[in-house]
């Protein structure tokens, strides 16, 4: 159940190469650690997650998956990077986290096996790494129960996002390895909204994520020119 044509092997390899540093808060994954409390709180402001079944798509080393499980959800983390999954499993074992399983699977194949199984789907910082995000969004819609929630985050596509997310983050501030993001794969909020709507998901909340490189602080607020979060709900 683990392979899909809707995956870019070079992208998966990129994350595999770095996987051993996933839980190092001063590594390439520092931004994911820094934004994690923010996104966890944002998800929980829409839906109480205690006891809920959640699938985290493109979970990587498990930063979000683990925090969801520690909050009391029953979490499935899926990814196609075996190395990232190995790190995720080991970390969960060491931290003795309950209610967490990791599977090597694409969203599309899990959706075939577990349609309408999950109360919540999270797909964060992942859509900009796949060849056809519409298939992943459709799989999210299939995985979630009627009335359930889908939370996505990705990067907008415009001059400002190019300057901030690629030039700034990869070349000036060296926050991310060069080549982490590809401009052509960025997705505008209206493109993502239209993919979601075609899949049967309705938008509930769209919010920007902002970063101040001087204070190193992240926050959510209006303005979706660069990073943004989208909360969606499947109709009952």
Q: Least Å distance between CB 176 and ligand SAH?
A: 11
Residue from 40, 68, 126, 140 in contact with ligand SAH (CB under 6 A): 126
Cβ proximity to ligand SAH, 82 vs 146, nearer residue = 82
C-beta separation of 161 from 225 below 8 A = yes
Task: Strand 217-221: give its sheet, edge to edge.
Answer: 100-104, 74-79, 53-57, 118-124, 144-155, 227-234, 201-212, 217-221
Which residue stretch of 77-85, 141-149, 192-200, 217-225 sits at the interface with ligand SAH (rule: CB under 6 A)? 77-85
How does DSSP assign 71-99, residue by residue? TT-EEEEEES-HHHHHHHHHHHHHTT--S
Decide: is 84 part of the binding site for ligand SAH (CB under 6 A): yes
Decide: is 196 part of the binding site for ligand SAH (CB under 6 A): no
Binding mask 31-70 for ligand SAH (x = CB under 6 A): -x-------------------------xxx--xx------
C-beta separation of 35 from 169 below 8 A = no
Task: Give contact residues for ligand SAH (rule: CB under 6 A).
Answer: 6-7, 11-12, 15, 32, 58-60, 63-64, 79-81, 84, 106, 124-126, 129-130
């Amino acid at each position: 159940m683990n392979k899909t044509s809707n995956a870019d092997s070079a992208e998966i390899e990129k994350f595999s190469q770095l996987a051993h540093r996933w839980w190092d808060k001063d590594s390439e994954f520092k931004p994911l650690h820094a934004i994690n409390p923010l996104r966890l709180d944002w998800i929980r402001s829409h839906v109480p997650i205690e006891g809920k079944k959640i699938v985290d798509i493109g979970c990587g080393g498990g930063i979000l998956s683990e925090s969801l499980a520690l909050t009391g959800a029953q979490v499935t983390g899926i990814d196609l990077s075996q190395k990232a999954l190995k790190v995720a499993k080991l970390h969960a074992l060491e931290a003795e986290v309950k209610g967490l399983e990791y599977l090597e699977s694409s969203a599309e194949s899990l959706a075939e096996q577990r349609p309408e199984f999950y109360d919540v789907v999270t797909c964060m910082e992942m859509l900009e790494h796949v060849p056809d995000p519409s298939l992943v969004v459709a799989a999210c819609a299939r995985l979630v129960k009627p009335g359930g929630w889908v939370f996505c985050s990705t990067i907008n596509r415009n001059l400002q996002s190019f300057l901030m997310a690629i030039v700034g983050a990869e070349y000036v501030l060296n926050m991310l390895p060069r080549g982490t993001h590809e401009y052509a794969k960025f997705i505008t909020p209206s493109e993502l909204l239209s993919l979601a709507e075609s899949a049967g998901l309705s938008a509930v909340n769209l919010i920007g994520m902002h970063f101040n490189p001087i204070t190193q602080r992240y926050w959510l607020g209006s303005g979706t020119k660069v990073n943004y979060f989208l909360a969606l709900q499947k109709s009952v």
